[in-house]
Chains A and B, each alone.
Chain A
Amino acid sequence: MTSETTNLGRITISPNAIATIAANAASQSYGVVGMASKNIVDGISHVLTKDPHHGVEVKASEDSITIDMYVIVEYGTRISSVATSVANAVRYKVEQSLGMPVRAVNVHVQGLRVTRTD
């Protein structure tokens, strides 16, 4: 739980809330076509679903946030560029929304979606 004490009381932000922001940023990030379960046993990957924090793992302590993103990338894109863009977008959106620094965004490309091969 990330928290901050103000004159009026404490403000806490749950990892789930942060995950929603991160997932939202990822969904608008070019080349990301879905989120995947971290756990391979869960197996099935989803195209971004109703679950707003699927495929996002947030570790938040008193003053630092680490985010792990498990993503599916469109086949035929340059994966390293897509992953870098996701990391940047997530960090920017989370920092902008929370006003707190993000220590790290780790992007795990769990799979590729092939619409067409050429």
Chain B
Amino acid sequence: MSKTGTDVDSRYRETLQERYRIIDGPTLKKMVVASVDWLRTNQQIVNALNVFPVPDGDTGTNMVLTMQSAMDEMNEKHERSVSQVAHAIAHGALMGARGNSGVILSQLWRGFSRTLDGHDRMDAALMAEALEEARETAYKGVVRPVEGTILTVSKDIAREAKAAVQNGATSVFEILERIVDAADTSVEHTPELLPVLKEAGVVDSGGKGLFFILEGMLRAAYQQPLDEPIISVQPLSAINLEGATEAIEPGQDWEVIVDFHPEGSLDLQNFYNSLEEMGTSIQVGEGDGMFRMHIHVPDKSEYAPIDYIRGLGTITNVAIENLMIQLDGRTQQGGIQDLSLQPIEPGQNAVIAVAPGIGLARVFASLGVTGIIEGGQTMNPSTQEILSSFEDLPTEKVILLPNNKNIVLAANQAAELTVKEVFVVPSVSVPQGIAAMFAWEPSGEFKAVSTNMTAAIDEVQTAEITTATRSVEIDGVNCEAGQVIGLLNGKLACSGDTLDQVMMEILDIADAKSRELITMYYGEDLSAMDANQLSDHIREQFSELELEVHEGGQPHYQLILSIE
């Protein structure tokens, strides 16, 4: 549940219940202004929840712009009645609706305002009715409503408001408290209803946006700050200790977590201020009178937060972890989004590469690419994903490395759809893409660089080793389903029962003896130890060649070999 206001004593709540028992137009206005502020503060959190790479724009931004338009319209009019204020909001939201979530939001306001027609003020019962009408209107706008979205959240809110009134709630404040709580629960539940959310490990972004809008109103009632994006009080469960090591900067050597019961009430503002002097990444969680503090501090001051908190109450638990060690462990398994790419100079030749695995992405990053798109054999990025990877770059000159036969087309399509000067180097394998990177010059003449990179892809041979998914005979090579097969430059070249056997055979076919360098990228199914055994065998057989071994992390292909 939302912890907004749980540190407030019950007498203050009673005051608020009385103050917001029945609200008028100006009060509604204030609440809406607060909701826009709070939504804007949390905009990036909502944006980060996008699962579809649909160029709809970001949900958080769309909802902020929609609410901004609603607020502008509302502020232009000097209405006193809730009816007229709500109509102004609905009208503004309609005019400024952006994206799917924005349109739905405008429909919610439209339904909400309709119920308030002719009312000067709004009480709990009317609010519950209006929320029901909002839900009704929103659901009418789509033929097949998808559950697990903002629609579901609006439904759960309406249901909760109705139940609250039936249970005797008479204050708008009470309804607000209950629906913020219901919205939170509903949002947390969305992955259960919509599998795509569960796969991505996120909650629905539109629903989360709606939650922030409502929570902003509640925070305003409590007179809590609306502009604290980094330090925010969260439910205990929301502090994900594993995720906390993202983006570790210098001076964040230790992670310290302290659970404690404060003596008396905790002055949060003071608490934050003191912590900020000690370290960064501050998070504070609260539940049942117990607090959890999370902070990153520099070396040798890992005990400072503990000493400080000891003065505030009773400490029940302390956890200290060395982040530098944790970080070393993480680099092995981080996602592509955690990669640090080279910053781009305005106007330079930028390269966007498609990489099928984290290790390969890291190789491309080390060679200086500006952007990496995750994709490969079975997960081709869409034209739009490719397009959006470079559209915002501060340069007009973009070189694409599709690194897969199936992606070349989408890359070409993306090149046609933009006003930028885009050249697609027709690399059909990762080794080709890497070879091309060696011919890249950030500040060279665009045409010449593109030509050199294209020429470079023919200088390597690519061997890919995978498992046959079905029995087939092509070009005189037979293989059974489940056998290991080797492809040389995209063509089936040999098959066999073991990885080692196929690898050695394909190196022979590729005439590796007459070459200079073999680079091995091992896939996600192989361990470093497997890779070592295989590479030892190559060294034995091809002692005169240089061999490099990298973790590629690609799916499906146990090995990708580059022979040059």
A residues neighboring B (CB under 8 Å): 7-8, 27-34, 47-48, 63, 74, 76-78, 81-82, 84-85, 88-89, 91-92, 95-96, 99-103, 115-116, 118
Q: Is the interface of B mostly helix, strand, loop or mixed?
A: helix
Tell yes or no: B106 within 8 A of A by CB: yes
Known pairs A7-B472, A102-B383; A74 contacts B52 (CB<8 A)? no
CB nearest neighbor in A for B87:
A118
B94: A residues at CB distance < 8 A: 76-78
CB nearest neighbor in A for B97:
A78
Q: Is B114 touching A116 in the complex (CB atoms < 8 A)?
A: yes
Q: Which of these binds chain A: B139-147, B240-248, B510-518, B550-558?
A: B139-147
Q: Is B54 touching A88 in the complex (CB atoms < 8 A)?
A: yes
Q: Is B384 touching A91 in the complex (CB atoms < 8 A)?
A: yes
B100: A residues at CB distance < 8 A: 29-31, 81, 85
Q: Report 24 cross-chain contacts, Cβ distance below 8 Å, ordered by A residue.
A: A7-B472, A7-B474, A27-B144, A30-B141, A30-B142, A31-B142, A33-B140, A74-B107, A76-B107, A76-B110, A77-B107, A78-B96, A81-B98, A81-B99, A84-B99, A85-B100, A92-B382, A92-B384, A95-B384, A101-B382, A101-B383, A103-B413, A118-B113, A118-B114
A78: B residues at CB distance < 8 A: 94-97, 102-103, 106
Known pairs A81-B98, A81-B102, A88-B55; A74 contacts B384 (CB<8 A)? no
CB nearest neighbor in A for B413:
A101
Q: Is B383 touching A31 in the complex (CB atoms < 8 A)?
A: no
B residues neighboring A (CB under 8 Å): 52-56, 94-100, 102-104, 106-107, 110, 113-114, 137, 140-144, 146, 380, 382-384, 406, 409-410, 413, 472, 474, 492
B107: A residues at CB distance < 8 A: 74, 76-77
With beta carbons under 8 angstroms apart, the residue of B103, B144, B384, B472 that contacts A31 is B103
A116: B residues at CB distance < 8 A: 114, 137
Q: Is A88 touching B142 in the complex (CB atoms < 8 A)?
A: no
A101: B residues at CB distance < 8 A: 382-383, 409-410, 413
- Closest chain-B Cβ to A65's Cβ sits at a distance in Å of 10
Q: Is B106 touching A77 in the complex (CB atoms < 8 A)?
A: yes
Tell me the total A-B contact number using a CB cutoff of 8 A.
97
Of A30, A88, A95, A115, most B-chain CB atoms within 10 Å: A30
- Closest chain-B Cβ to A42's Cβ sits at a distance in Å of 20
A78 to B382, CA, bound (A): 27
Q: Is A77 touching B382 in the complex (CB atoms < 8 A)?
A: no
A7: B residues at CB distance < 8 A: 472, 474, 492
Known pairs A78-B106, A92-B52, A102-B383; A115 contacts B140 (CB<8 A)? yes
A32 to B97, CA, bound (A): 15
A96: B residues at CB distance < 8 A: 382
CB nearest neighbor in A for B412:
A101
CB nearest neighbor in A for B407:
A99
Q: Is A74 touching B140 in the complex (CB atoms < 8 A)?
A: yes
Q: Is A27 touching B103 in the complex (CB atoms < 8 A)?
A: no
B97: A residues at CB distance < 8 A: 77-78, 81
A29: B residues at CB distance < 8 A: 100, 142
B103: A residues at CB distance < 8 A: 30-31, 77-78, 81-82, 85
CB nearest neighbor in B for A100:
B409
CB nearest neighbor in B for A8:
B472
CB nearest neighbor in A for B52:
A92
A48: B residues at CB distance < 8 A: 143-144
Q: Is A95 touching B110 in the complex (CB atoms < 8 A)?
A: no
- Closest chain-B Cβ to A63's Cβ sits at a distance in Å of 7
Given A29-B100, A76-B107, A84-B99, 6 further pairs, Cβ under 8 A:
A32-B142, A76-B110, A85-B100, A95-B383, A101-B382, A115-B140
Q: Is B141 touching A74 in the complex (CB atoms < 8 A)?
A: yes
B95: A residues at CB distance < 8 A: 78
A118 to B110, CA, bound (A): 9
- Closest chain-B Cβ to A79's Cβ sits at a distance in Å of 9
A85 to B55, CA, bound (A): 9
Q: Is B56 touching A85 in the complex (CB atoms < 8 A)?
A: yes
A118 to B115, CA, bound (A): 11
CB nearest neighbor in A for B96:
A78
CB nearest neighbor in A for B492:
A7
A28 to B406, CA, bound (A): 28
With beta carbons under 8 angstroms apart, the residue of B53, B54, B406 that contacts A89 is B54
A81 to B62, CA, bound (A): 11
A74 to B103, CA, bound (A): 11
A88 to B113, CA, bound (A): 30
B53: A residues at CB distance < 8 A: 92
B472: A residues at CB distance < 8 A: 7-8
Known pairs A8-B472, A81-B99, A81-B103; A92 contacts B140 (CB<8 A)? no
Q: Is A92 touching B54 in the complex (CB atoms < 8 A)?
A: yes
- Closest chain-B Cβ to A77's Cβ sits at a distance in Å of 5
A84 to B54, CA, bound (A): 11
A63 to B472, CA, bound (A): 27
Q: Is B99 touching A28 in the complex (CB atoms < 8 A)?
A: no
The 8 closest A-B pairs by CB, nearest first: A101-B413, A78-B97, A101-B383, A95-B382, A74-B141, A27-B143, A85-B100, A88-B54
A31 to B146, CA, bound (A): 13
B56: A residues at CB distance < 8 A: 84-85, 88
B382: A residues at CB distance < 8 A: 91-92, 95-96, 101
A116 to B96, CA, bound (A): 20
A82 to B380, CA, bound (A): 27
- Closest chain-B Cβ to A90's Cβ sits at a distance in Å of 10
CB nearest neighbor in B for A7:
B474
- Closest chain-A Cβ to B476's Cβ sits at a distance in Å of 13
- Closest chain-B Cβ to A75's Cβ sits at a distance in Å of 10
